[in-house]
Amino acid sequence: MNNARNNLTTVKRTELTFLEKLYVPTLWSGLKVTFRHFWNTLFRGKVVTMEYPEQKWTVPEGYRGAPYLVKDTEDRTKCVSCQLCEFVCPPKAIRITPPGPAVDPTTGNVEKRPKEFEINMLRCIFCGFCQEVCPEEAIFLQKDYSLTGVSRSEMIYDKEKLLALGGVHRGPIMKWKQKADEARKQDAFKPE
């Protein structure tokens, strides 16, 4: 214990200069930005603020917002309840209840669909691991970044809500074709 204490080094704080101690110059540099925007808004019509939440920020392509489940063009979930996303999710935001043996394979595109699928949006960190790992292209991070609710339970999105928000994903599952194409472009995969 004593040895550990002896090995501790003291980090020296940088002394503030006289002007920094006054705080006024720092305050003034902040106010300069405020006044500049005020001037530009009033006399030049350059508005730098937006009327949120009526106006929303247009997110760039590839933005990673909230993850939602998608349906195929026949209104069926693409998810096959493999639970890979649940396993990989770092904050354990996903909870899947797989179907029991009573699921009828003839009613869907897959033999196994989730009985329930929940994402706790209070836990989700929009990391995209679920989208990356999904073998069926059934879950995608979309453009929603502003999720609100009046209770914790409201922020747990169930399967119906996730599917309604996710919309339809057209076309066959191309994930592995795309991945193979990407791999072929890499040097390591070029023929000798």
Spatial distance between the Cα atoms of 41 and 24, rounded to a whole number of angstroms: 25
Which stretch of DSSP H or E encloses residue 120?
Answer: strand 116-120
Q: Does 163 bind ligand SF4 (CB under 6 A)?
A: no
What the block records as the tokens of 129 is: 């691991």
Spatial distance between the Cα atoms of 71 and 97, rounded to a whole number of angstroms: 18
Q: Does 70 bind ligand SF4 (CB under 6 A)?
A: no
Site for ligand SF4, residues 39 to 68, rule: CB under 6 A: 67
Other CB atoms within 10 Å distance of the CB of residue 85 = 24
Q: Does 79 bind ligand SF4 (CB under 6 A)?
A: yes
Cβ-count burial 141-151 (b if 16+ within 10 Å, e if not):
bbebeeeeeee
- Choose which of 30, 128, 149, 167 interacts with ligand SF4 (CB under 6 A): 128
Query: Who contacts 130 (Cβ-Cβ below 8 Å, separation ≥6)?
Result: 67, 85, 88, 89, 94, 139
Residues constituting the chain: 192
Q: Which is nearer to ligand SF4, 37 or 169 (CB)?
A: 169
Q: Least distance (Å) from ligand SF4 to the CB of residue 99? A: 11
Q: Does 81 bind ligand SF4 (CB under 6 A)?
A: yes
Q: Does 109 bind ligand SF4 (CB under 6 A)?
A: no
Q: Least distance (Å) from ligand SF4 to the CB of residue 47? A: 33
Q: Least distance (Å) from ligand SF4 to the CB of residue 34? A: 36
- Choose which of 68, 70, 71, 82 interacts with ligand SF4 (CB under 6 A): 82
Spatial distance between the Cα atoms of 69 and 79, rounded to a whole number of angstroms: 8
Q: Does 166 bind ligand SF4 (CB under 6 A)?
A: no
Q: Which is nearer to ligand SF4, 20 or 116 (CB)?
A: 116
Contact positions toward ligand SF4, by CB under 6 A? 67, 79-85, 89-91, 93-94, 96, 119, 124-130, 133-134, 136, 138-139
